[in-house]
Structure 1
Amino acid sequence: MTKRSGRRRIMYLAASFFSIIVFLFLVGSAGYVLLSHPKSPLPDHWNPLRDLTLTAPVTLVTKYQLNRALADEAQCRATLSEAGVAFSEMEDLVVDQNCGISGRGELSRLVRARVGGVETRCTTALRLAMWEYHVVQPAAQDLLGTQVRALRHLGSYNCRRMRTAQGQNSGWSSHATADSIDITGVELADGRTLSLLQDWSTPGAEAAFLHRIGQGACDWFRVVLGPNFNRLHADHFHLQGPGWGYCR
């Protein structure tokens, strides 16, 4: 190969590479314009540039939209309000470096189910609302033929260290910052009341329902602990927002 032909080849490859870059830039720009346009034909629940709608169908971009809402308190509260969730704003609670509630509010109702008034943070309320609407209610209709009227709980905020089967752990519990909530059971629209302590191990549709919603909580919380984890969780689901990713 001569020097001249070598230079031509290099120039050809450089021009081809530049053309590819320009093409990708134009395609990306066109895609961004399409997605960001107010009248974009793409449904909002498929559009990563749109804010989360709690009651929209779950798609491949839902988790991305959820993470944006979790990172922005104003958007978190707006998402809850739009879905009809009752989460009244409260001043942040500052106790010390280990305990307190940022994004604080009182949660009393999710999309369809009541919750006994509980102080928690907006991120926990949003995760719980996603679980109630997309997991709990469909499972109740599918397996029990009814809706869930209320969720029963043991609370969210508790300034304490972690508890283990061996005793108290040196680390601080996620409850110390209201990043988790403990659910003990549900009240159904047909009058039945289900609890993890009594119904988890009893064969039948009630137990199947509790197992399904426990597993389904893993889609919306990073840490989910229940009766299969240890005896300390025999009577409740520990639903925790941040964490290393563990479901049992």
Structure 2
Amino acid sequence: MTKRTGRRRILYLAASLLFTVVTLLIVIGGGGWWVLSHPQTPVPPHWNPLGDLTVTAPVTPVTAYQLRRALGDEAQCRAALSAAGVVFEPMDELVVDQNCGIAGRGLLSGLTTARIEAIETSCTTTLRLALWEHHVVQPAAREILGTDVRALRHVGSYNCRRMRTAQGQDSGWSSHATADAIDIIGLQLGDGRSLTLLTDWDTPGPEAVFLHRIGRGACDWFRVVLGPDYNRLHADHFHLQGPGWGFCR
């Protein structure tokens, strides 16, 4: 066998091996897709990247992907809220100008367990809030305080204004101008206690431990979370914001 023939044989074997590997990957990938997409798939919905987000399902590595899909599709967003029992009545979109308005607008008055004073906000903010309430707030309340949370107290979501700084200067447009944020000032507990960030954040005791826990936990569901440790403008509330580069303090 000549050197040229030997090289050709090696190239042929390499090409055959590559073809076999590619074919195997296609078969495996196609089979995986079929298993995930089949109506009777054995994969639990909260583990299935092709499944829709369920607010009350256990959190898995797939949840973040499902959440991104729901945030980008208003129909999915509203369906997830409805399935979780969140009271979010549809409203016409609000268009003020290029800086202000509410897409996916609705009237929020109840989360998965806790009530909330009726507030106009966006579907995406409501979805993030519902996930925080179910997976962070309620479990922390039961573990630390021995009760559940009956209601969340807020000071608004939509507000057509620019950002405020500690120096009092206006900057860019606030996320409140598009209802992409909500400010939470306190909570009403199932045993009758009422907590506020202004009075209980720095007061030693389980109430402060609880508030710090849920503040940190909000960072799992919102891209920007600002609280009493950030600056004096946030001494009395959590600023929970959907879009952003990721900042938690």
TM-score range relative to shorter protein: over 0.9
Structure 2 CA distance for aligned equivalents of residues 6 and 169 of structure 1 = 71
Scaled by the length of structure 1, what TM-score is found? 0.99
Query: 5+ residue gaps in structure 1?
Result: none
- SS of residue paired to 1:170: coil
Which is further off, 162-171 or 48-57?
A: 162-171
> Any idea what the Cα deviations from partners look like across 1:125-159, whole Å, max 9, x if unmatched?
00000000000000000000000000000100000
One-letter identity of the residue aligned with 1:168: Q
Q: How does 1:1-248 map to 2 (within 5 A)?
A: 2-248=3-249
Q: Which has the higher strand share?
A: 1
C-alpha distance in 1, partners of 2:215/2:224? 11
- How far the C-alpha of 1:167 sits from its partner, in A, is 1.2
Between the aligned partners of 1:146 and 1:226, the Cα distance in structure 2 is 23
Q: Is the 8 A contact 1:197 1:234 kept in 2?
A: yes
Amino acid at match of 1:110: L
Amino acid at match of 1:177: T
Structure 2: distance between partners of 1:173 and 1:161: 5
User: Helix, strand or coil for the counterpart of 2:172?
Assistant: strand
| 8 Å contact from structure 1 (residues 161, 168) kept in 2 | no
CA distance in 2, matches of 1:71, 1:224: 21
1 CA distance for matches of 2:185 and 2:172? 24
Distance 1:125 1:171 in 2: 23
Q: Which amino acid aligns with 2:115?
A: R
Deviations along 1:96-120, one digit per CA (max 9) or x if unpaired, are: 0000001000000000000000100
d(CA) in 2 for partners of 1:215 and 1:87? Answer: 26
What is the SS of the residue equivalent to 1:5? helix
TM-score between the two structures when normalised by the length of structure 2: 0.99
* Distance apart, 1:179 and its partner CA: 0.1
C-alpha deviation, 1:168, in angstroms: 2.7
Deviation at 1:234, TM superposition (A): 0.3
Stretches of 4+ aligned residues off by more than 4 angstroms? none
Residue 163 of structure 2 aligns to a residue whose secondary structure is strand
Supply the distance in 1 between the matched residues of 2:216 and 2:117 (Cα, whole angstroms): 23
Distance 2:76 2:116 in 1: 22
Q: Tell me, yes or no, if the aligned pair for 1:196 and 1:235 is still in contact at 8 Å.
A: yes
Gaps of 5+ in 2: none
Percent of aligned positions that are identical: 69
Compute the displacement of 1:169 (Å). Answer: 2.4
SS of 1:169's equivalent in the other structure is: coil
2: CA distance between counterparts of 1:168 and 1:156?
21
- The letter of the residue matching 1:237 is F
Distance 2:190 2:136 in 1: 16
Check conservation: 1:214, 1:226, Cα contact below 8 A. Answer: yes
